[in-house]
Amino acid sequence: MFAWLETSGIAALWAVALARAPHGLRNRFQRPLWLAIVMIALAMSMHLEPVTAALANVVPDEHWIDLSKHLFSIVDAAAVLWFILGAADRRRHTTPVFGTAAAVMAALVLLDLAAPPHARNQIAPDPATPGVPDAYWWVFFLFHLLADTTCGIVCWLYGRQDTPRLLRLGLLLFGTGTLLASLLWVLKLVYLQTRSPDLGPLFSPVTGAEAWFMAVGAALPVALQLRAHRDHRRTYRGLAPLWRDLTSANPDVVLKPGNRLSALAMPLQLRLYRRVIEIRDAMIVLRNYVTPATLEAVRRHVAAQSVPAHLTDAHVTACWLAAALDARRNGHAPQSQTVNLAGPDATDLDEETAHLLQVATAYCAPSTGTYRASPAGAG
């Protein structure tokens, strides 16, 4: 009845893997997580009936298909544990994690070879059915239980620390998914001991819930990246009117890209960074066209416009930029500037960009247009 939950959860994992592929392949720090998501999706997919049927057409012996899926799932669990531990404390536990995984895989192969002839590596409802010994399943399930429980606990511990909200929620959801995987292994251990028919129907919905929690948890960082890209795009466009006027009057401040193709291929964040630098450089040039009388007139004008206090500096800057542009276009000579027109001190690029966006918004605001039309602005 809940087969759709498992299928849809695995499909969601594949969708997240595809969405993260461009960033995961380029960024060496994100590549392990992306590979882990792909391996989780692949390991779960291999247990779906259509996939098993397709494998049967390639490998006619179902026994070897079962064993291969189990061995691959060990590699998958080790890879996820390796990434989570590395992301948590920035150290890679390669030898203990993959060494243990190799030992478990060797044990499974030896137990399988030592077992009497059997058609499948599955827990048969009747214990008398020939198959691998219970030790095979204990080794298999306990390794998964240990790996998934460790991943879940680490994700929950780091998901409760001081991290961005979406990333924190993503860690908690991904950790919940791995803990649901632990629940699945506990259920299978109980089934191994009891062979209760009531437990079998629980495996698929628990797997589906596990896949959905992991998919949503892994997708949230993508949502964070998309939101950051949207904010950068909005800021880039918001700065455009101010940037066009300032750079048209001061073309020398424009940083020349290598060629048009490289400019189009430049990441948006880098283009935004260049635009901020060019606006700042143009402001340094234009401030030498602002006289003390003009600056005093600008301040009186802004004070009369009922501008919110936190935007006063941005509106003053927008108005003196408009006055400086007019002075430069009219051929006025620059003069040494004794007044600090640099604006508030910014501790990082984000603060600098936010301030310039306020200036750009004020530059297009009616108050600046009113100043241009006033006798002081026209003068």
Last residue of a domain, one of 164, 198, 232: 232
pLDDT in tens, 31-65: 777 888 888 898 898 888 888 777 777 777 888 88
pTM of the model: 0.68
What's the domain range around 61? 3-232
Query: Are 256 and 366 in a shared domain?
Result: yes
Query: Are 76 and 146 in a shared domain?
Result: yes
Query: Are 182 and 315 in a shared domain?
Result: no
pLDDT in tens, 350-368: 888 999 999 999 999 988 8
Is the pLDDT higher at 259 or at 357? 357
What's residue 269's pLDDT? 84
What's residue 192's pLDDT? 93
pLDDT in tens, 136-171: 999 999 999 999 999 999 888 887 766 677 778 888
Last residue of a domain, one of 184, 202, 232: 232
In percent, the amount of the chain with pLDDT more than 90 equals: 36
Task: Give me the number of domains the chain comprises.
Answer: 2
Query: Are 311 and 195 in a shared domain?
Result: no
Whether the predicted pLDDT of 211 surpasses 70:
yes
Q: How confident is the model at residue 327 (pLDDT cuts 50, 70, 90)?
A: confident
**Mean pLDDT for the stretch of residues 112-118:** 91
Query: Are 253 and 322 in a shared domain?
Result: yes
The CATH number assigned to the domain holding 170 equals 1.20.1070
What's residue 87's pLDDT? 73
Last residue of a domain, one of 210, 232, 254: 232
Rg of the chain over all Cα atoms, to the nearest angstrom: 31
Query: Are 64 and 190 in a shared domain?
Result: yes
Query: Are 344 and 308 in a shared domain?
Result: yes
Whether the predicted pLDDT of 267 surpasses 60:
yes
What's residue 65's pLDDT? 87
Whether the predicted pLDDT of 377 surpasses 90:
no
Q: How confident is the model at residue 11 (pLDDT cuts 50, 70, 90)?
A: very high
**Mean pLDDT for the stretch of residues 241-258:** 85
**Mean pLDDT for the stretch of residues 97-103:** 95
Query: Are 185 and 303 in a shared domain?
Result: no
AA letter at 255 = L
**Mean pLDDT for the stretch of residues 65-81:** 90
Query: Are 26 and 60 in a shared domain?
Result: yes
